Amino acid sequence: MNSVGEGCTELKREYDQCFNRWFAEKFLKGDRSGDPCTEMFKKYQLCVQKAIKDKDIPIDGVEFMGPNKEKPES
Amino acid sequence: MRTPDRGASAKFPPFVIGCAGESRIAQSDEVVCVRNRQKLSGHFLRMCAFLHHVIGTPNVERETTVQRYPWETVIKAAMRKYPNPMNPSVVGVDVLDRNLDTHGRLHSHRLLSTEWGLPGIVRAILGTNRTLTYIKEHSIVDPDEKKMELCSTNITLTNLVSVDERLVYRPHPENPDVTVLTQEAIITVKGVSLSSYLEGLMALTMSANARKGWDAIEWIIQNSEREKVPLCDLC
C-alpha cells in the first residue's frame, strides 16, 4: 500500500512492519513495554506532513469544491 | 440521537453525528439521512436510500454480522486492511498519529486516499481535475475490553456530502472463536444541484468501507504470509 506522499512509501513500509509486529506480539498480548517504532515513526511523519502540506490536504478543516469554484488557497 | 421531526418545512433539531468522542452537530441547512429515521422529505429520503443502497451501507441503522475468527486475528487483519482486492479504490493510507491513552487503549489517526477513476468528460462537467477524495479515520483498540472501534469521515467534498461510518469489532459474548462486527453509516447531504448529486454519488461509491467488509478482512487473514508477520498463532 502506498503512502499518500509518493516519496514516503518506503518509510511507511518500514514503520508499518515495525508497528504490525509490535501490535501483534506485544500490545495485544498485554505487554505495555515501550514502543520500538518511535524513531521510525518520526522520520515517516516528517515526510507525510510535508506531502500533506504540498498537496493541500485539508486534514484539519473542510474543503469546499464545486463545479464553478477554483481550488481555494490554503 | 433524537427522534426526528416530521414535516419538511420544520427546522431540524440538532442532530449529532460522529463517534469515538469526536462528534459534530449537523447544521440547520444540512439534510441528514439515517436509514429508517424518516427525517427527510420524500425527495431527499429517496436519494439517501438510493445512495445507501449503492455504497452498500447497512439497510438498517445498525447492522451486525459475525465471522468465525477470534477477535485478535480479526483486529490484526483490520489494522492491515489495505490493500485488498475488495477495496480497489483505496490507493493510499498513512498514519498521522498514534498514541496510548491513560486507559491503555491505542488510538490511531489515519488518512486514506481513494481514487475515483472518473472519465475525462465527467471531470469536465464537474469542473475539477481532482479525482482523489480523502478520508480520515480514527480507531481505538482496547485490548482489555477486547473492542476495536473505527470511525471514518470524508474530509473532501464536505460541502456536498458527508459519509460518517462507524465499525465496532467485539468477540461474540457466547463464543470466543467468533467475532461480531457492528456497522453503521450516516449520510449527510448538502446542496441540491444535479452536479452535487453526481459528485456525492461518486464519492459514496468509493466509500472505503464497502459492503463486503468481512470479505476484505478474510482476505487479509488468509494472505497474511506475504508480510512475514503471521496473524494467527497456528500459522
> What is the chain B residue with the closest CA to A51?
B94
Q: Which of residues 7-26 of B touch A (CB under 8 A)?
A: none
Q: Is B134 on the interface with A (CB under 8 A)?
A: yes
Least confident piece of the model among A7-11, B9-13, B75-79, B84-88: B9-13
Report phi then psi at B180, rounded to 5.
-105, 130
DSSP A65: -
pLDDT for residue B38: 39
pLDDT per residue over A5-59, tens digit each? 889 999 999 999 999 999 999 999 988 777 899 999 999 999 999 999 998 888 8
Of B32-41, B53-62, B152-161, B165-174, where does the model show the most confidence? B165-174
- Nearest residue of chain A to residue B154 (CA atoms): A62
Cβ–Cβ contact A22 with B under 8 A = no
Which pLDDT does position A61 carry in this prediction? 42
Non-local (6+) Cβ contacts of B148 within 8 A are: B75, B78, B139, B140, B141, B142, B168, B169, B170
Q: Is B186:B33 a contact under the CB 8 Å cutoff?
A: yes
Task: Find the residue in B nearest to A14 (Cα).
Answer: B227
Q: Report DSSP letters for A14-30, one per residue.
A: HHHHHHHHHHHHTGGGT
Is B216 strand, coil or helix?
helix
Q: What is the pLDDT confidence band of residue B201, given thresholds at 50, 70 and 90? A: low
Considering only CB atoms, A48 lies closest to which of B94, B128, B155, namely: B94
Length of chain B (residues): 235
Of A19, A21, A59, the CB nearest to B96: A59
A window 28-67, beta carbon within 8 A of B: 28, 30, 32, 41, 44-45, 48, 52, 57-59, 62-67
Nearest chain A alpha carbon to B112: A4
* Best CA proximity match to B6, nearest among B37, B29, B35: B37
- Contacts A28 to B, Cβ<8 Å: 72, 75-76, 143
